[in-house]
Chains A and B, each alone.
Chain A
């Protein structure tokens, strides 16, 4: 009996020791050891993150993730995507299931604070809009009193919707679904008069209808939706890296560094470009990666403008204008702090 107990106690103690030995280390360190960045993505939003027929994920959010992988591991494919519904995404990030959440997620104060998240680069400035059937003869969102609205649950959209109708003293009936796909399907089936989501999503979804021209997007944008990448509280090194990958892509666009010309640019005399591409200074080391990190990003993924055009802009079926997502020098909101 004693011997059994002793053995059991010893076994449990040994188990405890191995558990204790796994010390707390930063996400960056873990990523380097694992050789993979784990990104939380959606279940499929055209232009932002969606598998193609070979099953390879494509989209502006995915490219952000690939840029992070390129900066750390010099390989944009060393990315593991974890598909999350809107309602699972924060739990997955909080629990450590994923390293970074890039899933058309709006930066809000409560998420930033009580959910324990830090929001890094805003890779898309969006706003919530409404789509209706043209046959309804509606010109403004203020005419929507009494309408049924399809929306995705667990999103800021759901809350903005309540606010907007409350502020304008209008009644509505909400029908909430877990995935974007189910939501749009219900709208298509006539369950709702109105489909609401971020304006970018409206354009993406309208494309999929049998007759896109039967539907119109109302002019009102009822909310600010800065879609940003987010990481857990308490790991500033990782937070900095995710943030600066986005800024690097913006700075690259601003300085005219593209996927095609990045090799020539390495010979540039412009001090800003030299700092960006790591031929001068040790900026990469400051965030824990090699100094040619931006070269890796741009070579493998491209600058922000290229990523935008390829996934949601004119080079894609969505054909969304740059608009607010243009560089600040061209009248947009995308503004990156300088690398120096």
Chain B
């Protein structure tokens, strides 16, 4: 191991040379990993072959032959849907419950987090009890509870509770009229798009103007008004091209219309309430991390309570809140896989449940499922990291 350069330096036994040791550690680690992966792969192939189990991804285009109740894309056993379609249905169901859950949990979490710091004793204590109870019981139990809590008080479909004769509530879920777009409905979408673009441009211009001249321009107010009224005007001008398909009572259920299933509601409720308790704690910690001097200084400048919270405290608290918030979002997404316990057809239920069982190809199915969750996680972290770096303290 000795080279020309080493000659002058004191001789160290290679056993105690940190560089040599480092290389040795890495070589050992690499060997162990390669060995383990190689063994696992060959064993799996060998075992699969010995038991003559089918392998490969051929099942993807095979007809599925079963049905799923909640589907965002057409899927039916009669329509020749494949296992690949089943995967998509499951994936979309996972994504939609995660998306709604994230939005609702964030709102509820902020409310509870701020309520815990309320000066009102009973509100603060109630929030504390909420957080403690929810955080200290398993989510699985809570989901089972919510599923029963959703189903129990609702009537059967023949005795549905109806709102305005159009929306029906029963233990099969909420049934609403389906809007059916007429030929000229596209103008409404275009108007919405235009309004959004104008809003973005306006707020950009307003920010520039405020930075340059100090004058403020109510860009958000105008943008919001545009966002509401422009599509309405377009809709009216096109002659109101929208009809509704109303749900009709049949012998068992209401047929027609859009349906929100109780499994979805229960899962959403469970995930929201569970995650909100954690978010509330993050929010509380974030707000407490902003020193009292900040809000005192804001008050001294004459800002109102609301302004202080909005302009001074929350932006600073956000820096502390965002990193843990990201993990909460990821947890919520992963926890949505507990849907299996209450029969919501998410990715795990449909794909690693029914599809795995009908095809028997565990290795492929589980690998795909893990990959999907991994992708979701990494993408979410990526975007939250971007947001985080934009919010991070710019030190001068």
Kindly state whether residue B311 has any CB partner on chain A within 8 Å: no
Kindly state whether residue A12 has any CB partner on chain B within 8 Å: yes
Q: Report the Cα distance A111→B53, complex, angstroms.
A: 10
Q: A1-B14, A115-B53 are in contact. Are A154 and B357 (CB under 8 A)?
A: yes
Q: Which of A119-158 contact B (CB under 8 A)?
A: 143-148, 153-155, 158
Kindly state whether residue A264 has any CB partner on chain B within 8 Å: no
CB <8 Å contact, A146 and B66: no
Kindly state whether residue B353 has any CB partner on chain A within 8 Å: yes
CB <8 Å contact, A87 and B343: no
Residues of the B chain whose Cβ atoms lie less than 8 Å from the Cβ of A158: 66, 354
Number of A-B contacts (CB under 8 A): 150
Residues 329-373 of chain B: 1 if any A CB is under 8 Å from the residue's CB, otherwise 0?
A: 000000000001111010001001110111110100000000000
Residues of the B chain whose Cβ atoms lie less than 8 Å from the Cβ of A161: 66-67
Query: Closest residue of chain B to A138, judged by CB?
Result: B251
Q: Report the Cα distance A148→B175, complex, angstroms.
A: 14
CB <8 Å contact, B47 and A96: yes
Q: A148-B172, A176-B343 are in contact. Are A5 and B356 (CB under 8 A)?
A: no
- We find that the number of chain B residues with CB closer than 8 angstroms to chain A is 54
Kindly state whether residue B171 has any CB partner on chain A within 8 Å: yes
Q: Which secondary structure dominates chain A's binding surface?
A: mixed
Q: Report the Cα distance A9→B66, complex, angstroms.
A: 52
Q: Which of B78, B172, B251, B353 contacts A145 (CB 8 A)?
A: B251
Q: How distant is A150 from chain B, measured CB to nearest CB, in Å? A: 8
Q: Which of A12, A96, A162, A183 contacts B77 (CB 8 A)?
A: A162
Q: How distant is B47 from chain A, measured CB to nearest CB, in Å? A: 7
Q: Which of A187-195, A266-274, A324-332 lies at the interface with chain B?
A: A187-195
Q: Report the Cα distance A155→B357, complex, angstroms.
A: 8
CB <8 Å contact, A153 and B171: no
Chain A: number of interface residues, binned into ranges: 35 or more
Q: Which secondary structure dominates chain B's binding surface?
A: helix
Residues of the B chain whose Cβ atoms lie less than 8 Å from the Cβ of A95: 47, 362
Residues of the A chain whose Cβ atoms lie less than 8 Å from the Cβ of B255: 146, 171
Q: How distant is B349 from chain A, measured CB to nearest CB, in Å? A: 7
CB <8 Å contact, B53 and A114: yes
Kindly state whether residue B68 has any CB partner on chain A within 8 Å: yes
Residues of the A chain whose Cβ atoms lie less than 8 Å from the Cβ of B340: 178
CB <8 Å contact, B24 and A4: yes
Q: Report the Cα distance A214→B27, complex, angstroms.
A: 70
Which 8 residue pairs of A and B lie closest in terms of their CB atoms, listed nearest first?
Answer: A154-B357, A115-B360, A116-B53, A162-B77, A116-B51, A147-B252, A114-B54, A91-B362
Can you list 9 contacts pairing A with B, beta carbon distance less than 8 Å?
Answer: A4-B28, A8-B27, A12-B32, A158-B354, A162-B77, A173-B253, A175-B69, A176-B353, A178-B343
